[in-house]
Structure 1
């Protein structure tokens, strides 16, 4: 059985000046490389044979299989473990006839059609990519992103075919690659193929060891967020108890919530955050993100005003938050309004892992590629989803995070459980930025969940249940406060409603939550 975990693809042209290829190869094996593919696209046959023969000797020394790119004749000559075939190379069926029994054949795949053909043809493994843009190979097909890998992996369910992601994978994006490249049925990658991260290093042993450490941490800890919980773990009482604990934690610890949000509603969002007991910081400059990620306890990214400087900050802020294991709340405002926004959202979600995605029906429909509900700017139009519970659960499974679908009725899912919340008041829809404020409330309560996680002897690890409760709590805090504000005698309409809403957020009590929450758990 081959261990595909850390699959090295060689590239002598990338070696640092003065670095010997064979020494680099041996060091990478010492660092933990589990498979080697030798690739020599511009080398004549005699030189390729010599390099492959010596590489095979080194690989045998560490009991690591050697796979030859494209050249079946070279693989036969050096008795390699197998070959890797591209879409324009020799067909799998022909290679299988030429190679001895038991030989391994891998195939490069970029889309569903290529993957299905590789399965039908009897490939032993597939190399899926490119996952990220890469300078080591001229790409003639689109970068598919980590979320695209997950969609392809679903086709491998029930087959013996292994899967390796390839293309631009480095230490800084490896965890995102592993966590995001999972199907909705939890079919994960069997390994990652790496080129430049090891080959260009002057210390290939350390480079390989660093990648192995990340791979091991991912498999041992379940990555940024733990796996989905079973439905039996939640009921109305347990959810409300969890929300109340988070509410108290926010007020006691005053967590710092970093918000890159809509310019139209910065003041409203900041005031709501303070009213709940948290502390806002509204920083957008990319150069600040690494420092802020060390001190904040949650990040909110809202693309309402998608200017270039803020976008650069969003890309980096999410990556830094992932590295610090901080919850990330993402609000893809108006994602269906333009191709630019769709492209930006796709890039963000492929670059970092969201803990919570919050949107209205139109925004989530655009994100999921559904035509059931349409967007009109930042609003939804249409009659709604035929089965909103199944929809929000499916999006949560696909994105591997908690999903909040806001509206007259709010639906929240962790991919298994679904909470249906029926609180709120029509005046919320008549003020600017109520959706942005909802994101701030969710982020504040996720920050509270982060504080609780750190205090419960879990090494500060955030699990999906924490942000599920944080999302429910954030929505309940806002919608119940809206009901209380609307009942006040001093509220005459939208203009007097928002100040009253801030007051009620600041005075929200445990009793308000218990008595007024209208919630179902499915």
Structure 2
């Protein structure tokens, strides 16, 4: 079998000890292959040689009937004895160079990698593929090394640019998080996983055929489907100012008809203001943080806003579960990493959250987004930006959007929004927004509200719900622009009202203007560039 023809999409690692009671190993393996498993690795850490040989030989016969390559974990002698297609070796096993000498020509050799250094060595040694992990905590193997995490895999994949080495992720991957894994691990250069490796997600199932088929469908749709963030209705010619304005007009008219429920886990300081802004737009707010109700709320909300301004333990637990459940239902998640650069604790929380679930939109000021990527180009002061902004904000937001696989919104005197390909530059707003508490938080509420509408409209158009390969349907790029633009234009109208004397009287007027704002007013005021 030529190595270039191998499909690593759904890589099964066996584990007989995990089989449901009464389920035969060989029957389970065959059903898994029928469901769509594309590579099989036999892992028998406790079996004696004779037993291992028997299991491997019978497994080889079954895999051969489905033209699926069989790999043996660690034991080159077993691989040679049964004529396996190759081996998978760990960091403490036989070196690749020696394994290559012992195995037949064109044998497949895979290597487990947990760090950049291990991956660099695997590349140097000439591995055919690498297994990167563990991505999540797993009960099938005692972990002696730290979790790589979803976003950590993406940074490692960059090293494979320009090589022919394939990559699969492994460790705790299952039906609930496989889509997050596929999307979240794509590097900023666009390098994606060639597949995912699973153990218990299939082996523990009483119906391994269906378990494999469900995973295979998601992987297949991800590989052939549209980009995570680009809308389904955008022409191949890309975005123009006119198409964006027309779409925003549609969103503004639709929000008051659809009245989506927006679940907001947000800063305690601005809960009331954010709720009032949401209502003024035509959406409905629900402010809830208790982890036990996140599954139910995900079912009924149109979008989720996670704002880490107030990081209490209950709120953090709620954030972890809320994003996970909303992802599972393929609804938008807007993330506001407020003050992420202020403390190491906030940095850790943000990393944990983004490893747990996929954000649809990440919004922040220059200091916050710089801290998110570990850049020293812009400093932060608490929740504010200190000093000048980025030298090239367009390049920054495009790069970050590709890295995080989501829409990036950089707020400031000038706002920048990017999907990784296109950048919108907005110059609406008023200085009073910077003189009141919670204007940035309220902006997040606006963005989440329009993301919900865009998602609902797209689902209604397709009449079939979200397809497996997408976390969210609808144009989140335009929705994010709409949220910023509507909020900032309303601020312009509010600031010049006769009853507004300064920041103290400005916010009530802003809510009034949001409630009465029409698409026609926005179109007259919009200041937008597309680059």
TM range (shorter): over 0.9
- For structure 1, the residue ranges without an aligned partner over 5 or more in a row are none
Name the CA shift for 1:188/1:95 in 2 (closer, same or farther; >3 Å): same
Q: Give the counterpart of 1:487 among 491, 496, 501.
A: 496
Shift of 1:220: 4.4
Counterparts of 1:10-409 in structure 2 under 5 Å? Answer: 10-222=14-226, 225-226=229-230, 232-409=237-414
Shift of 1:458: 6.7
1:510 aligns with 2:519: yes
- Point out the more displaced range, 7-16 or 18-27: 18-27
TM-score, reference length from structure 1 = 0.95
Shift of 1:459: 4.0
Distance 1:90 1:16 in 2: 33
Distance 1:341 1:292 in 2: 25
Q: Give the counterpart of 1:418 among 415, 420, 423.
A: 423
Partner SS state of residue 68, structure 1: strand
Whether contact under 8 Å (1:374, 1:380) holds in the other structure is yes
Shift of 1:255: 1.7
Q: State the Cα deviation string for residues 422-458 of structure 1 (Å, max 9, x = none).
A: 1111211111111110000111111221233234347
Distance 1:402 1:324 in 2: 19
Name the CA shift for 1:290/1:220 in 2 (closer, same or farther; >3 Å): farther
- Point out the more displaced range, 139-148 or 261-270: 139-148
- Point out the more displaced range, 261-270 or 207-216: 207-216
Distance 2:302 2:66 in 1: 44
Q: Give the counterpart of 1:439 among 438, 441, 444.
A: 444
Distance 1:240 1:212 in 2: 39
- Point out the more displaced range, 419-428 or 460-469: 460-469
Distance 1:496 1:129 in 2: 54
Q: How many residues align?
A: 522
Whether contact under 8 Å (2:342, 2:380) holds in the other structure is yes
Partner SS state of residue 514, structure 1: helix
Whether contact under 8 Å (1:286, 1:313) holds in the other structure is yes
Distance 2:98 2:500 in 1: 78
- Point out the more displaced range, 446-455 or 414-423: 446-455
- Point out the more displaced range, 229-238 or 480-489: 229-238
Shift of 1:46: 2.8
- Point out the more displaced range, 2-11 or 194-203: 194-203
- Point out the more displaced range, 443-452 or 223-232: 223-232
Q: State the Cα deviation string for residues 89-116 of structure 1 (Å, max 9, x = none).
A: 1111111111111100101112222222
Whether contact under 8 Å (1:198, 1:208) holds in the other structure is yes
Distance 2:39 2:495 in 1: 64
Partner SS state of residue 461, structure 2: coil
Q: Give the counterpart of 1:500 among 489, 509, 514.
A: 509
Shift of 1:238: 2.0
Distance 1:277 1:259 in 2: 15
Counterpart of 1:476 in structure 2 is 485
Distance 1:376 1:315 in 2: 26
Distance 2:89 2:465 in 1: 44
Distance 1:305 1:226 in 2: 32
Distance 1:171 1:320 in 2: 13
Distance 1:86 1:457 in 2: 46
Distance 2:207 2:227 in 1: 27
Distance 2:229 2:463 in 1: 12
Partner SS state of residue 333, structure 1: coil
Name the CA shift for 1:38/1:450 in 2 (closer, same or farther; >3 Å): same
- Point out the more displaced range, 510-519 or 262-271: 510-519
Distance 1:464 1:454 in 2: 7
Partner SS state of residue 177, structure 2: helix
- For structure 2, the residue ranges without an aligned partner over 5 or more in a row are none
Q: State the Cα deviation string for residues 309-368 of structure 1 (Å, max 9, x = none).
A: 222222222122222221111111111122221122112112211111001111111111
Q: State the Cα deviation string for residues 206-254 of structure 1 (Å, max 9, x = none).
A: 3223322322333343475458979952222222222121111112222
Distance 1:167 1:349 in 2: 17
